[in-house]
Homo-oligomer: A and B are copies of this chain.
């Protein structure tokens, strides 16, 4: 594969995963869907274990892909709110279905799987 193929999606499935894959994206989208609007610090607290670097970076990517909207209030102290775009809202149902599927799977194999502590 040539260097230029880096960001080329081989198919639509790839395209989707490039946008909502990664370690935190799906979770962030999910939380934003559940709460409609979240501040930076709120997200940071919900996505356990994430660093500011990763949170900021991930939000920027989601913003670039038009999946989240960033609303900055120019005040001191700063206040920034994030929410989903309509495009992202269209996608959320799939995340929800995946969640349901996963929960069923987790229940069926109730060994070797650590307790799930999510929202």
Contacts and interface: CB of A to CB of B under 8 A. Distances in A.
B90 A94 contact: no
Interface in A1-25: 1, 5, 7-17, 19, 21
Contacts of A26: 13-14, 17
A60 B13 CA distance: 21
Number of copies: 2
Query: What is the size category of the interface that chain A forms with chain B?
Result: 35 or more
Contacts of A103: 12
Contacts of A21: 17, 21
A36 to B, nearest CB: 18
Nearest to A108: B87
B101 A10 contact: no
Shortest Cβ-Cβ A-B pairs, 6 listed = A11-B118, A12-B102, A16-B102, A8-B114, A15-B102, A16-B98
11 contacts: A10-B49, A11-B27, A11-B30, A12-B99, A12-B103, A12-B106, A12-B116, A15-B116, A17-B26, A21-B21, A97-B97
